[in-house]
Copies of this chain bind each other. A is one copy, B any other.
Amino acid sequence: MAVYTEVTDAALTAYLQDYDLGAVTSFKGIAGGVENTNYALQTHTGQYILTLYEKRVSQADLPFFIGLMDHLSSAGFPCPKPVRNRAGEALSTLAGRPAAMVSFLEGLDVKHPEAALCEEAGKAMARLHAAAKGFDIHRTNALAPHGWPQLVSASRAGADGVEPGLETLITAELEHLAQEWPNNIPSGVIHADMFPDNVFFMEGRLSGVIDFYFACNDFLAYDIAVGLNAWCFDVDFQFDPAKSAAFLKGYQEHRPLTETERDTLPILCRGAALRFLLTRLYDWLNVPPGALVVPHDPKAFSARLRHFQTVVHARDLGIA
């Protein structure tokens, strides 16, 4: 949530000489985005978002992220569309960082989405999964089960200082999920971070989905599990079955889940809760000096994990 890299007017002018966007009329750092530096850019031709990729994003992954946004927007999915320079490149360099410019999306993120918006989000996720078909770059999910043991090792010593009993919760869950994780359900490109702050609405309608920097190839139903974690809990971490039912209804309007996907959904929800618990715990215990970002509270996801541990049947998630 900060500007990590300053871009001088001189550097911006030089950068834009490779583009056909007309004169700059405004350029402001955006106070959002934990991983990257984002600027809102206005020129005589329109509005754009200029992103500088900071070190937490691997340069090797950028062709996947930018290619995916290009593919999705060309398929009619409402996401930022990369802007190409005169050389036809969507990725270049600015202020010593890899940088890309994308179209500006109208809309507002909704902090506490009601069930009707959860349904819209579910619909959009299914559309995203369909629109991504044919995208031919592959990116492994670094935060899938094979990546969790390392996160547990890095954080278990400090876990009980954050919340009593947390070390046992995560180590036992790690073991349980290693046994129960499915391997035979439909996969494809998923967003993997479709939280309400990455979804814009205008007058009750979904107008855009942003922030594809965790997107990867994984189980489609795992993306739904992330969505249920992200959209279906109240501020006091209580599960709201009406929101979950609405999210799943929206998704299944475009793509009904298979029998196996339904059966494994409770386990996938536990996995998604653990994934966000582990990265939040790691960030909570490792705030770098001079950090401009306040880390998210891990306890929001230990609460979710404890809830999903009580769910045995997909019907308890409100699935129709």
Interface residue? A169 (CB, 8 A): no
Chain B's closest residue to A23 (CB) is B203
A24 to B108, CA, bound (A): 8
Q: Which of A24-80 contact B (CB under 8 A)?
A: 24-32, 40, 42
Judged by a CB distance under 8 angstroms, whether A87 is at the interface is no
For A37, the closest partner residue in chain B by CB is B31
Residue A86 at the chain B interface, CB threshold 8 Å = no
Picked from B3, B12, B26, B203, the residue with its CB within 8 Å of the CB of A107 is B26
Contacts of A42 in B (CB 8 A): 106
Q: How distant is the Cα of A2 from the Cα of B2 in the complex, in angstroms?
A: 7
The tally of residues in A whose CB lies under 8 Å from a CB in B reads: 34
Chain B residues lying within 8 Å of A112, measured Cβ to Cβ, are 8, 10
A9:B110 contact, CB within 8 angstroms:
yes
**Inter-chain contacts of A320 with B (CB < 8 A):** none
By the criterion CB–CB under 8 Å, are B31 and A2 in contact? Answer: yes
Is A137 engaged at the interface, CB distance under 8 Å to the other chain? no
Q: Which residues of B contact A31 (CB under 8 A)?
A: 1-3, 28-31
**Given A1-B2, A292-B292 in contact, is the A32-B23 Cβ separation under 8 Å?**
no
Name the distance in Å between A310's Cβ and chain B's nearest Cβ. 30
A146 located at the interface, meaning its Cβ lies under 8 Å from any Cβ of chain B in the complex: no
A44 to chain B, nearest CB (A): 10
Within the complex, the shortest CB–CB distance from A168 to chain B, in Å, comes to 30
Give every chain B residue within 8 A of A40 (Cβ-Cβ).
28, 40
Given the contacts A1-B3, A2-B31, A31-B2, A26 and B292 also touching, CB distance less than 8 Å: no
A25 touches B290 (CB 8 A): no
Roughly how many angstroms separate A205 CA and B112 CA in the complex, as a whole number? 44
Query: Residues 261-299 of chain A: 1 if any B CB is under 8 Å from the residue's CB, otherwise 0?
Result: 000000000000000000000000000001010100000
Complex partner residue of A111 from B10, B29, B292, CB under 8 angstroms: B10
Q: In whole angstroms, how far apart are the Cα atoms of A27 and B110 in the complex?
A: 11
Whether B294 and A25, one on each chain, are in contact in the complex, defined by CB atoms closer than 8 angstroms, is: no
12 A-B pairs with C-beta separation under 8 A: A1-B2, A3-B31, A10-B111, A24-B108, A25-B106, A25-B107, A25-B202, A27-B108, A28-B31, A28-B32, A28-B40, A29-B32
| Chain A positions near chain B (C-beta within 8 angstroms) | 1-3, 6, 8-10, 12, 23-32, 40, 42, 104, 106-112, 201-203, 290, 292, 294
